[in-house]
Amino acid sequence: MKKKFNPETTESKLNNEAIALLEICENTFHCDLQSKSRKINYVYARMAFSSLLRKRGYGFSKIGSFIDRDHATIIHYEKNLEVYLNTDIVFKNRYGIVKEGFEAICTKNKLKVTANFIEKKDKENYYLSLPHYNKELINHINFLNKQKKDLHLTIEQMQFKIDALNQSENRVKTLIDIVSQRTRIGTEQDVEKKLHIWYNGVYEK
């Protein structure tokens, strides 16, 4: 008969597993699991963390102690996990990445905590090897990154034009102020004609 998993007799090992999983979740979801934030990526990270520790035999209260949540919150995460997995492809993909990384650590007994359990140079190959890997999603991310660069370039060009306009406006600002302040209402056309005549004389050689 298979020996029943007993968290209480392997406290040190379990703590190492939980810490390892916590760091995997934080790196995958780009967040701090102990934060009070209710942003969706924080919620998803805590949900993935709770679910995978439950599969390892942790109790609700024990899981909650790692991320500063009560047992009721952990129960809520467990009840709603499947709903989010079935409705959010991004969460499903990230959950799969966390699950495979954590299972690899548990299987090989690599309980040393590391924030970079996948080397940066191997990340792309790692993602490509996953069965749930979504090429369309990655292509979309690459497309968005390109758009981001294009937008930055457009913003720089627009800022250059704005600076040029401001410089041009500042060059004649004093003249505009004088005309605006000294031109009486109803005499605008007369002033305009006189200015044309005056300017013609100013620049004649």
Residue-wise pLDDT for 133-161, tens only, equals: 456 666 667 777 788 888 888 888 888 88
Give the model's pLDDT for residue 44. 93
**How many beta carbons lie within 10 A of that of residue 130, not counting itself?**
13
Give the model's pLDDT for residue 12. 47
**Domains contained in the chain, CATH given:** 7-133 (1.10.1750.10), 144-202 (no CATH)
Q: How many CA atoms lie within 13 A of 79 on its CB side?
A: 7
- 128's tokens: 């490509």
Give the model's pLDDT for residue 52. 92
- 17's tokens: 């597993």
Measuring CA to CA, how many Å separate 82 from each of 44, 51, 61, 92, 97? Answer: 12, 10, 21, 10, 16
**How many beta carbons lie within 10 A of that of residue 126, not counting itself?**
15
Give the model's pLDDT for residue 202. 58
- 71's tokens: 């047992």
CA distance 143 to 137: 10
Measuring CA to CA, how many Å separate 175 from each of 164, 183, 204? Answer: 18, 12, 20
Give the model's pLDDT for residue 2. 39
- 89's tokens: 């492809």
Give the model's pLDDT for residue 94. 92
**Average pLDDT per run of 10 along the chain, which is 205 residues long?**
41 69 91 88 93 88 90 91 90 91 73 39 48 58 79 85 77 77 84 78 60
Q: How many CA atoms lie within 13 A of 181 on its CB side?
A: 6
Give the model's pLDDT for residue 42. 92
Give the model's pLDDT for residue 185. 86
Which residue has tokens 């924080």? 42
Which residues have C-beta within 8 Å of that of residue 111, sequence separation ≥ 6? 13, 16, 17, 20, 105
**How many beta carbons lie within 10 A of that of residue 23, not counting itself?**
17
